A and B are shown apart, each in its own frame.
Chain A
Amino acid sequence: MSAILTIARRELAEGVRNRWVVSMTAVMAALAGAIAALGSAPTGSTATGALDVVVVGLASLTIFLVPLIALLLSHDSITREAERGTLLLLLSHPLARWQVVAGKFLGQLAILALATVIGFGCAAVFVIWRHGAEGWQAFAFMTAVSVLLGAVFLGLGVLASSMVQESSTAAGIAIGLWLFFVALYDMALLAALVARGGHAVPGGLMDAALLANPTDAYRLLTLGEGSAALLSGMGGVYDNSHLTPALLAGALLAWCLAPLALAMTVFARRNL
């Protein structure tokens, strides 16, 4: 365990040293702040808390931004060490290769969690100061699930990094993953629905399709219930499915652990 923590601490320290943590926190805070400032402006009377409104805007943004940041952070975890010429030395120490993967992942998760919590937290503080704390539970939940979504893409990035030799290849894979999960998948899903010409898709199939993409699971989990569902229009999808929050969270967790486990296996087998 201590080897994992040593690597994680090192990864976090590296993130602080090369100003990743600061710049990502700033980006998150700026965007969350902008959405909070615009989205929570009192326009008419809504029966919902100001924070609820912010959750909807922020969650939609998170779906694009957090996976991107997570992939940027993690796609070169292993290849960077190899290219810098520090991988052999690292692996000559008394630690297993899966521990290197786990440590890197944990360190990156810490960076991402710091940036998300601080960035979103700034926006939350601003809204609470202006409009009161109503809806804070949904906001806190959304923040937590955002970190989980980030963890999924950290895992995918680490996997890409452990499979290839060069960072540039891993970056290509990362971009492909991002495009696929964030944009293409939903487009394809939408096209399939349209192609069926309004005939209802079996609920089970739709559920499976939503679980098969972590960003959809995230969207449903944060926007499917409560006031956010009303505002985002995701309530309809949610009500027609059999997916419970526990199931969706479980899917996200599985999406996080499976690539990570695969990355550990692949990396452990590689001949260096």
Chain B
Amino acid sequence: MTVILDRVSKLYSGRAVVSDLSYALEPGQVVALVGHNGAGKTTQIKMMLGLTRPDGGELTVLGADPGDKAARRALGYLPESVQFHLAFSGRETLGFYARLKGLPARGHDALFARVGLSEAADRPVRTYSKGMRQRLGLAQALLGDPRLLLLDEPTSGLDPALRRELYGIVAERAQAGATVLLSSHALTELEGHAERVIVLNRGRKIADGTLEELRALAGLPSRLSCVLDGAPRRIELGQDEKPAVLRALLDQGATRITLEDPSLDDIYAHFLQREAA
């Protein structure tokens, strides 16, 4: 287990930001924390980094207390909308963080190449676009082949191509045995990228599993629309009813059939509603 949370809670001025939260992360897994802004995602990551102390419960990161130096050396962190000093070049910036991790300041060309910054490495960060800054942030997080990657909203504000590239790098690291924890507020974009999703609401875990499991757990109907005998029809049907209903509709000569499975956003909304009820 790379990260273990055992009934962790955290209060900010009396308000519970994380309450009674337990989960464990395994090596080689890509896990997504999903929740609204203010659901406690960033707070959890800060606690794992040892930047904020939990008010209750136990938290173990890479077999040590959070903030342990050896553990931090084996950890990569990408903050939400990462910022760097604007006057330094990408290479100088990466060199600085490498030195802080106890690595040589030079010789990270392969990393620049991996995140697609080879050509811009010697330009000041001032000239970087948001996407390029995120690339540099990712390169920084990947320094020293960390065993645990904590990525806070890594894809917010990125174009789809860069997003795919980022998930590619994430998958690569997970295959190499690293644990990747990323937070997101969009469940949809995680399809095919996260093996496990932990849905959070106001600091509580409201669902935990693979996307398929979440789908089954939610039990939301699919929406079918078609034209039957010249009249449009809309039907809601459960997953196990699908084959029978479809066959019947085809036998009756229905045309223009579209079948819409519940989207991940629907599932997410469902979990939130269930929580609110």
Q: A91-99, A194-202, A233-241: which one contacts chain B?
A: A91-99
Q: Are A94 and B85 in contact (CB under 8 A)?
A: no
- Point out the residues of chain B lying under 8 angstroms from A95, CB to CB: 69, 100
Q: Are B69 and A91 in contact (CB under 8 A)?
A: no
- Nearest residue in A to B52 (C-beta to C-beta)? A271
Q: Are B75 and A17 in contact (CB under 8 A)?
A: no
B90 to chain A, nearest CB (A): 14
- Point out the residues of chain B lying under 8 angstroms from A84, CB to CB: 83, 85
B69, B79, B87, B140: the one within 8 Å of A94 (CB): B69
B8 to chain A, nearest CB (A): 15
A254 to chain B, nearest CB (A): 31
12 contacts between A and B (CB under 8 A): A2-B102, A3-B100, A7-B100, A13-B88, A84-B83, A88-B46, A88-B49, A89-B97, A92-B79, A93-B72, A95-B69, A271-B52
Interface residues on A, range: 20 to 34
A272 to B84, CA, bound (A): 18
Q: Are B100 and A93 in contact (CB under 8 A)?
A: yes
Q: Please, how many residues of chain B have a CB less than 8 angstroms from a CB on the other chain?
A: 28
Question: Quick check: is A137 within 8 A (CB to CB) of the other chain?
Answer: no
Known contacts A3-B100, A10-B96, A17-B87, A94 near B51 by CB under 8 Å: no
A96 to B69, CA, bound (A): 8
Question: Quick check: is A14 within 8 A (CB to CB) of the other chain?
Answer: yes
Q: Are A85 and B83 in contact (CB under 8 A)?
A: yes
Q: Are B85 and A14 in contact (CB under 8 A)?
A: yes
> A1-45, CB under 8 A of B: which get 1 and which 0?
011001100100110011000000000000000000000000000
Question: Quick check: is B215 within 8 A (CB to CB) of the other chain?
Answer: no
B152 to chain A, nearest CB (A): 9
Q: Which of B146-181 contact A (CB under 8 A)?
A: none
A272 to B46, CA, bound (A): 8
- Point out the residues of chain A lying under 8 angstroms from B51, CB to CB: 88, 91-92, 272
Q: Which of B51-83 contact A (CB under 8 A)?
A: 51-53, 69-70, 72-73, 75, 77, 79, 81-83
Footprint of B on A, CB under 8 Å? Answer: 2-3, 6-7, 10, 13-14, 17-18, 84-86, 88-96, 271-272
Q: Which of B19-51 contact A (CB under 8 A)?
A: 46, 49, 51
B72, B83, B87: the one within 8 Å of A86 (CB): B83
A10 to B75, CA, bound (A): 22
A84 to B84, CA, bound (A): 8
- Point out the residues of chain A lying under 8 angstroms from B77, CB to CB: 88-89, 92
- Point out the residues of chain A lying under 8 angstroms from B97, CB to CB: 89, 93
Question: Quick check: is B101 within 8 A (CB to CB) of the other chain?
Answer: yes
A94 to B75, CA, bound (A): 9
A271 to chain B, nearest CB (A): 5
- Point out the residues of chain B lying under 8 angstroms from A272, CB to CB: 46, 51-52
- Point out the residues of chain B lying under 8 angstroms from A93, CB to CB: 72, 97, 100-101
Question: Quick check: is B7 within 8 A (CB to CB) of the other chain?
Answer: no
- Point out the residues of chain B lying under 8 angstroms from A3, CB to CB: 100
Q: Are B81 and A85 in contact (CB under 8 A)?
A: yes
Q: Are B101 and A85 in contact (CB under 8 A)?
A: no
- Nearest residue in A to B78 (C-beta to C-beta)? A89
A91 to B97, CA, bound (A): 11
- Point out the residues of chain A lying under 8 angstroms from B52, CB to CB: 271-272
Q: Are A17 and B88 in contact (CB under 8 A)?
A: yes
